[in-house]
Amino acid sequence: MGQVVVSAMDIEHLRVIRANVVAFMRHAAATYGTAPGRLLDIAPQVHEGARPFFGEHVSVETFDLDPASGATHIGDICALNPTLGDGTFDYIVCTEVLEHTLRPWDAARELRRLLKPAGHLFVSVPFNFRIHGPLPDCWRFTEHGLRALLSEFEIVELREVATPDRDLMPIHYTVVARRPEAP
């Protein structure tokens, strides 16, 4: 591959995405993360993760595929992770991860398994953004794709950040989903 050129639009979209993730984490913590509980933060090592946003009443654990990440738990979110029991977490944060999974439906199934009934899942994904690392970068989800992917959850909020002057091509999505109490 030759030299990679990063466009001004990509630089701006990255800025918008990062700002939106911070705003989303503040909103998630203030609106849904008020009760004591356990939170699993999926692959937060590159950025600040969920810890700065959730109060000390929330115990934050991390999960990553990379054994060198220093995460609390090492595993593949697209597979069964038997060291983590069913319904272990009150909250799960999964920001900018699902586009990098090889089998996102398996990831959604494992996230649901790990979440307690009535627990909250906080997801964000880019849409109008370049291929990026860590590779692989496999997917872009529309609102409809996110609803299908998270069909075993109750979608509480699904928001988009629009691309200026480009209808139907959002830069970024955030989702708050709740695991139903009934199996």
Note the pLDDT of residue 5: 87
Is pLDDT of 87 > 90? yes
* 179/159 Cα distance (integer angstroms): 18
Is pLDDT of 173 > 70? yes
Alpha helix locations (H) across the chain? 8-31, 104-114, 143-149
Domain membership of residue 166 (yes or no) is yes
CATH of the domain at 31: 3.40.50.150
Domain membership of residue 1 (yes or no) is no
Domain membership of residue 17 (yes or no) is yes
Note the pLDDT of residue 183: 64
Note the pLDDT of residue 48: 76
Domain membership of residue 2 (yes or no) is no
Note the pLDDT of residue 99: 97
Task: Write out pLDDT tens, residues 139-155.
Answer: 999 999 999 999 999 99
The domain total for the chain is 1
Domain membership of residue 183 (yes or no) is no
Q: Which structure tokens are listed for 6? A: 């990063």
Is pLDDT of 34 > 80? yes
Task: Write out pLDDT tens, residues 96-136.
Answer: 999 999 999 999 999 999 999 999 999 999 999 999 888 99
Domain that holds residue 21: 8-178
Check residues 47 and 10 and name the one with the higher pLDDT: 10
| Average pLDDT, rounded, for the chain | 95
Note the pLDDT of residue 133: 87
Note the pLDDT of residue 45: 66
Is pLDDT of 84 > 90? yes
pTM of the model: 0.96
Q: Residue 50 — pLDDT band, cuts 50, 70, 90?
A: very high
